[in-house]
Amino acid sequence: MTPAPGGRTAVEADLADQLGAFAREFVAELEAQGRLVEVGGAGVLERLRTQVEAWRNGPEPYRVAVDTIVEDCGYPSEVAMRIATALNRRGLLPGGEEPEPRHDHGPAALPLVPGARGAIVLHLADRGAGRPSAEGEGGREGEHDHEHRHRREYGHESGVAGVPEIGYGGGHRKGREKWIENGTGTGVGQGSPGEDGAEGSAGHEAAHGYAVAAAPEALRGHEIAAGREEAAALETASRADRVHGLAVAPVSEPVPEPVDGQAPRVRPAAARSRTAGWDTASARAVSVAATLQSDHLARLEAMRITADGERVTVAIKATCLADWEYWLDAIGAARNVRTRTAGHAQVAAGTLDGVAVHLTAHGVPELLQEASDAAADPFYLWGRIYDLGVGQTDRSDRVWLSLGRRQDERGMPLLVLRGTAGPPYPLAAIVMAHGPLAPAAPPAAGTDGGDG
């Protein structure tokens, strides 16, 4: 029996609809799995196949690390495998080795980790096939290694040394106040500045064919001999400790045992190589430094604004005392801030958003001396020179006049509000309550300056 043409068309249409729906579901599933590529995407499929084989052939810690990075961190599988491969290559995955070591890239010069600063760097004989033997290399470079080791041990081969900063300690405050009380005008006393130690930063000593002793305390009183015996000993090191021709003497640290069902943990020795000292306080210091740079770095006297650990350092070259007073306010210094003289600079400290800000103002001691010489009755208080021979205007435009008397043996001047018979007040109290103070303008000609 031959089916009718109309019935055959209906069956074909139904089958076409079913096949189309199946094809759409299949394509959507391939796209969701990342297996659908455009024309010419054979390389993508090959890379995907290589990744799957590498994951299957890798050790258990390697697979756990890849799955953890994908599931917990949300990274693509390709990125997760690169991260896990890098961790495995550096020996950070316990009990595992790199599934497919890559030898197509030559070694690159890398900086020493913080734990290896100060280590002795020795040139070792190459051990590859077709390379000269360790004996031949040792005979030609024995003297060079000995001299190199001697220079490294006794500091004759230095790295890049940090620039020392001007310290803030040791200012002799009492001597300065005595000079103020006498009113001799001999100059603003200078304190003895403190000194900050400079710490040298390690250079790029770690290169191909060098052995780095990563434990500084193990180097005291010991020497590392280059030659056949050391080359043979380094051959027994694990592949995790030999990267691109680098033989690293490992630190004696206990490695935590892997626990089933848990992601591998970083070894303590590797944890110390991370950037130390970076926390929320350091982040706040960076934020405060950025704010100061945005608001004040365009000023002509500004030299440098940087974050230094948990604090911020500011350096200026003042051309007038107005610059000095401006930056005292900018760093959040209190009105009664104690400043110190360090050479040709005046230093002070303030606080912004809970972050300590240290100001070094070059040229301010000379400006203070000039202001003292020009004043009729100079008095130094909290980094400023007040001329008591003229009235002092507070922030409410009231004028305070000096009585020519001192409060106590420390010599604090007494001032009274002009136009009143009120009691006298110490200059320090007026500055704290109504400051800042500025010299009052002289009265206009033909006016009586005695009224309020």
Structure confidence at residue 315 (pLDDT): 95
Contacts (Cβ under 8 Å, ≥6 apart) of 366: 344
The encoded tokens of residue 196 equal: 């900050």
Q: What is the dihedral of CA 292, 293, 298, 302, to 10 degrees?
A: 80
Q: What is the DSSP annotation of 47-116?
A: HHHHHHHHHHHS-HHHHHHHHHHHHHH---HHHHHHHHHHHHHTT-STT---SS---SS----BPPPGGG
Number of Cβ atoms within 10 Å of the Cβ of 60: 13
The encoded tokens of residue 54 equal: 């590498």
185 and 373 Cβ atoms separated by less than 8 Å:
yes
Fold of 280-366: Beta Polymerase; domain 2 (3.30.460)
Q: What is the DSSP annotation of 262-311?
A: SPPPPPHHHHTTSPPS-SHHHHHHHHHHHHHHHHHTTSTTEEEEEEETTE
Structure confidence at residue 183 (pLDDT): 39
Mean pLDDT by 10 residues, the chain (452 residues): 58 86 83 62 68 78 82 77 81 61 47 47 45 45 49 42 36 38 39 40 39 41 44 47 45 51 45 54 90 92 91 94 93 90 92 94 94 89 88 88 77 86 85 86 58 42
Q: At what angle do helices 321-330 and 280-296 cross, to 10 degrees?
A: 140
CA distance 383 to 324: 9
Structure confidence at residue 79 (pLDDT): 80
CA distance 203 to 264: 32
Under DSSP, is residue 209 helix (H, G, I), strand (E, B) or coil?
A: coil
CA distance 166 to 360: 8
Owner of token pair 């051990």: 127
The encoded tokens of residue 192 equal: 């003895």
Structure confidence at residue 444 (pLDDT): 61
Q: For the purposes of burial, counting CB atoms within 10 Å of the CB of 341, is it exposed (0-12), middle (13-18) or buried (19 or more)?
A: buried
Its pTM stands at 0.40
CA distance 118 to 116: 6
Structure confidence at residue 38 (pLDDT): 59
Under DSSP, is residue 177 helix (H, G, I), strand (E, B) or coil?
A: helix
Paired residues of 406 in beta bridges: 413
Q: What is the dihedral of CA 12, 18, 20, 24, to 10 degrees?
A: 180
